[in-house]
Structure 1
Amino acid sequence: MDSLTQIVLGAAVGELALGKKMGNKAILWGAIAGTIPDLDVMTKWFFDPVRANELHRGFSHSIFFSLLAAPLFGWLLSKIYKKSEAGWRDWTLLMFLGLFTHPLLDAFTTWGTQLFWPSPYKVSFKSIFVIDPLYTLPFLLCVVLAMRLKRENPKRRSYAKIGLIISSSYLLLTLILKGYTYTKFEASLIAQNIEYIDIQTKPTPFNSVLWTANVETADAYRIGYYSIFDKSPTIQFSTIPKNHELLGAIAEDPLIERLIRLTEGWYTIDQQEDTLLFNDLRFGQLDFEDPKSPFVFSYELYYNANELHAREPEKKFRDGYSLLKKLFVRMGGI
């Protein structure tokens, strides 16, 4: 999830863990704990895009990291606040909750999280977009209300609980909506006699109303959209050829094998003049109404010193307001 959401979640669990003893200091350190796992984004300063994306949501998002780091941070904070009511165990609990709830929430997104690192398996429920105001804003309001009260006030804890209950209930709702929309996609595929190998569904940006499905067939992918407000049972699917054969001899290159693992096998290949683009299908396209629109994540393949490399192509400026308008109109249903 986005940084603001993780800060809010960390702040809430910080209040619940240690608010009575430390007041807003508990909220502050809970918020900090909630941001620490995402420091792995700094890997992009030291590694190529493929390696950086392989490392993202890995070690720092694991149960192992939470168990390892929480006592260390807890000890440090117990020394900083050695005259306070809170001891090492109190701070360790706060840091563990802040560190662990971060990857737990990330597991509901499309990217997935290596909760069980060093296992490469990524937990990914794909039920919420990385930025969802309906999850974040009510939660943020509850945390702000809690911060405005003195630490002795029992309403502080109540506000934090309410925020956690509302946000967790919304997460549960996204899972229910995912299951509901999955049945709609499946029924429409059957009705149209489309034979498929696999289906992945996920919400579109900033909402849980409009959902999209990536459908794998023998030689292409079908992409469809369904809003819970749609009145028509028929879902229109656009077709995107896999074009895997364009890789030719480089299909056996170790870099290609890594990219296939990174995309979990959901990829297409485009050829633009003499350049091959390796597209990650999981995160969709910049313009959901245009089947020829660039993908959100793609890699330009090139050779340097007879070695195959990948880099992210330069993204061209697009009218964000127009794209958002299309999205919200489509959310209203057809």
Structure 2
Amino acid sequence: MDSLTQIVLGAAVGEAVLGKKVGNKAMLYGAIAGTIPDLDTFVGYAYDTITATEIHRGFSHSIVFSVLFAPVFGWLISKIESKSAATWKNWSWLMFWGLFTHPLLDAHTTWGTQLFWPFDLRLAYKNIFVIDPLYTLPFLVLLIMAMRLKRDDPKRRKYNRLGLIISSIYLLLITPALKWITYNKFENALEEQSISYQRIDTRPAPMNSILWSANIEAKEHFLITDYSIFDTKPISFQKVPKNYTFADSLAGDPNLKRLINISEGWYTFSEKNEQLYFNDLRFGKLDMNDPEAPFIFSFLLQEENGELTATESERSMEDAESLLPELWSRILGN
């Protein structure tokens, strides 16, 4: 999830664990704990694109990391807050839950997380987008309301607990229910249109849980589509050729295999200006209506010194700005 959401979750968890004893400092250190796992993004800068992508949400998002580093961070805080009523054990317990709830939340996104690192198992329930105001804003408001009260005020714990409950209901009940409903809509549309397929993958569109997108794999191509719960027209599918023959010369290349593994098999190739691109389908396109629009995650493939390299295509703020009005219009239904 985005940094703000993880800060809010970490602060709320910190308050729940230790707020009664240390007040707002529990929120402060909980917020810090909630941001620590995402520091793997900076570690990735030291590596090539493929390795950095593999590292993201790996070790730092695992149970192992939480167990190993919670006591270390707890010890550091106990030294900084030596006059506090909280002990090293108290701070360690706070840091563990702050670190651990971060990947638990990330597991619900499209990218997922390697919670059970070092095992090669990525959990990705794909029922919430990385930025979702419906999850974050009520949570944030209640956290601020709790923060403004004295640590021994019973309303403080009530507001914080309410924020945790509301956000959890949205994450664990409402969005999975919407995913199930829309998944059935996609399946029924495929059946009604007599379209044969091998597998289907669904996810929420950016910044909401009203509009959902789907990737469908057929034998020679993929189908992509979306559905809003406010839609009144039948679902239509856009065909995307796999173009696997474009990369025949790269067959068996270990770096290409790594990219395919990262994409979970949801990928196509495309050519532009005589250059070959690897497209990860899981995160959609920059333009929802243009069949020729590039995919959000696209990698230029080149050979350098006999080794295949991948360079991620840059995305600009203008791309996001043009997508938002289109996204809002689509959320409201067709």
Same fold? TM cut 0.5 = yes
**1:313 CA displacement:** 2.5
Partner of 2:189: 188
1:138-159 deviation per Cα after TM superposition (whole angstroms, max 9, x unaligned): 0000111111111111111111
**Matching of residue 228 in structure 1 with residue 229 in structure 2:** yes
1:124 and 1:181 mapped to 2: Cα distance?
17
Q: Residue 182 of structure 1 aligns to a residue in which SS?
A: helix
Alignment RMSD: 1.1
Partner of 1:15: 15
Partner of 2:149: 149
Partner of 1:282: 282
1:95 and 1:74 mapped to 2: Cα distance?
6
TM-score (structure 2 length as normaliser): 0.97
Maintained 8 Å contact 2:286/2:319:
no
Maintained 8 Å contact 2:44/2:55:
no
Q: 1:132 to 1:159 in 2, by over 3 A?
A: same
Q: Residue 271 of structure 2 aligns to a residue in which SS?
A: strand
TM-score (structure 1 length as normaliser): 0.97
**1:231 CA displacement:** 2.0
Partner of 2:311: 311
**Matching of residue 170 in structure 1 with residue 174 in structure 2:** no
Maintained 8 Å contact 2:18/2:26:
yes
1:178-207 deviation per Cα after TM superposition (whole angstroms, max 9, x unaligned): 001000000000000110000000010000
What is the one-letter code of the residue matched to 2:86? A
**1:116 CA displacement:** 0.3
**1:317 CA displacement:** 6.2
Where in structure 2 are the equivalents of 1:218-257 lying within 5 Å? 218-232=219-233, 234-257=234-257
Q: Residue 252 of structure 1 aligns to a residue in which SS?
A: coil
Partner of 1:120: 120
Which sections of structure 1, spanning at least 5 residues, go unmatched?
A: none
What's the % identity of the aligned pairs? 58
1:169 and 1:137 mapped to 2: Cα distance?
14
Which sections of structure 2, spanning at least 5 residues, go unmatched?
A: none
2:49 and 2:314 mapped to 1: Cα distance?
13
Partner of 1:202: 203
What is the one-letter code of the residue matched to 2:146? A
**Matching of residue 135 in structure 1 with residue 135 in structure 2:** yes
Structure 1 residue ranges, 4+ long, deviating more than 6 angstroms after superposition: none
Maintained 8 Å contact 2:44/2:56:
no
2:306 and 2:113 mapped to 1: Cα distance?
34
Moved more, 258-267 or 289-298: 289-298
Q: Residue 144 of structure 2 aligns to a residue in which SS?
A: helix
Q: Residue 224 of structure 1 aligns to a residue in which SS?
A: strand
1:10 and 1:316 mapped to 2: Cα distance?
30
Q: Residue 296 of structure 2 aligns to a residue in which SS?
A: strand
1:127-177 deviation per Cα after TM superposition (whole angstroms, max 9, x unaligned): 000000000000000111111111111111111101001101111200110
Moved more, 198-207 or 243-252: 243-252
**1:38 CA displacement:** 0.2
1:128 and 1:243 mapped to 2: Cα distance?
30
Q: 1:26 to 1:330 in 2, by over 3 A?
A: same
**1:92 CA displacement:** 1.1
1:278 and 1:182 mapped to 2: Cα distance?
27
Partner of 2:3: 3
2:319 and 2:81 mapped to 1: Cα distance?
50
**1:311 CA displacement:** 0.7
**1:83 CA displacement:** 2.2
2:143 and 2:202 mapped to 1: Cα distance?
32
**1:327 CA displacement:** 1.0
Where in structure 2 are the equivalents of 1:38-187 lying within 5 Å? 38-171=38-171, 172-187=173-188
What is the one-letter code of the residue matched to 2:300? E
**1:306 CA displacement:** 2.2
Moved more, 183-192 or 144-153: 144-153
Q: Residue 251 of structure 2 aligns to a residue in which SS?
A: helix
